[in-house]
Amino acid sequence: MIAVALGGSDRYWRIARGYDRMGNAVTGGLDTETVSSRAGRRWGCVLCRILDWIEKDYCRKSEGI
């Protein structure tokens, strides 16, 4: 997964987003939504704080993806 994130190409980012959506579906979320989007809306105050530390406004920018 780290190689995907560091790859930078569009193909690698699509693969990473696919894993993100799969992880969301496995944990009971929609298969069309990312974990970050779900966390930003509901249960993810702590997760979003961590993600926002990595990239400013990460969860807010991920809403609806």
- With bands split at pLDDT 50, 70 and 90, how would you rate the model's confidence at 8? low
Burial class (CB in 10 A: 0-12, 13-18, 19+), 5: exposed
- pLDDT tens sequence across 13-54: 888 889 989 988 998 888 888 877 776 666 666 777 777 888
Say if residues 4 and 15 touch (Cβ distance below 8 Å).
yes
In this prediction, residue 64 has a pLDDT band, given cuts at 50, 70 and 90, of low
- Count of domains in the chain? 1
For residue 14, CA distances in Å to 5, 7, 9, 18 come to 10, 11, 9, 6
The answer for residues whose C-beta is within 8 angstroms of residue 39's C-beta and 6 or more apart is: 47, 48, 51, 59
Give me the pLDDT at residue 6, please.
58
With 0.85 as the threshold, say if the pTM is over it: no
- Give the residue numbers spanning the domain of 11: 2-62
pLDDT value of residue 43? 61
